[in-house]
Structure 1
C-alpha cells in the first residue's frame, strides 16, 4: 500500500511539473504584429480570421483566412471593415 502511494505521488509530481513548464513556455510565445496588410499577406494569403464562424462582409475572396484569435487580436487594426477578418483577399 505504501509503495502504491509513493509511486502515485511521484508520478503526479513528475506530470505536474512537466505540464507547468509547457504553460510557461506557451505564455512567453509572442504573436507577431504586422505593420500592414502587405506584410501579413506574405505569410497568410487569405488574411487572419478571429474564429472559424465569421463571415466576410467585403464580398468574394480568393483565399480562405487563417484562423487565430491571438494573431487577429494582435493585428486588429488592419481589419478595416470590422468583420473579424483582417487583411482578407
Structure 2
C-alpha cells in the first residue's frame, strides 16, 4: 500500500510540474509585449516604470513609485533605460 501511494504521489507531482511549465511557455509565446515611444507614454500605464527583475536596485536616487517587474516588457523597452540600471523610465 505504501508503494502504491508513493507512486501515485510521485506521478501527481511530475504531472503538476509538466502542466505548470506548459502554461508558462504558452503565456510567454502567446502574448505580445507593448513597446512605448517614450517614458511619458509608459508612465500612463506603469507609473514607476518597468524593472527587468525584482532584485534590481535604482542607481538614480529615491523614486516616488515602485516599478512594475517584467523581463519581456523591459527588454522590449530597453531604449528607455538611460542610466542602464535595468529599470526603464523609473520615477
TM-score, normalised relative to structure 1? 0.72
When Rg is computed on C-alpha atoms for both structures, the one with the higher figure is 1
Selected match of 1:70 from 45, 69, 72: 72
Tell me whether 1:50 sits opposite 2:52 in the alignment.
Answer: yes
Q: RMSD across aligned C-alpha pairs, in angstroms?
A: 1.9
Distance in 2 (CA, whole Å) between partners of 1:26 and 1:79 is: 23
TM-score, normalised relative to structure 2? 0.71
Comparing 65-74 with 25-34, greater Cα deviation is found at 25-34
Structure 1: which 5+ residue stretches go unaligned? 1-18
Structure 2: which 5+ residue stretches go unaligned? 1-18
Superposed displacement of residue 27, structure 1: 1.1
Matches within 5 A, 1:77-88: 77-88=79-90
Superposed displacement of residue 52, structure 1: 0.3
1:40 is aligned to 42
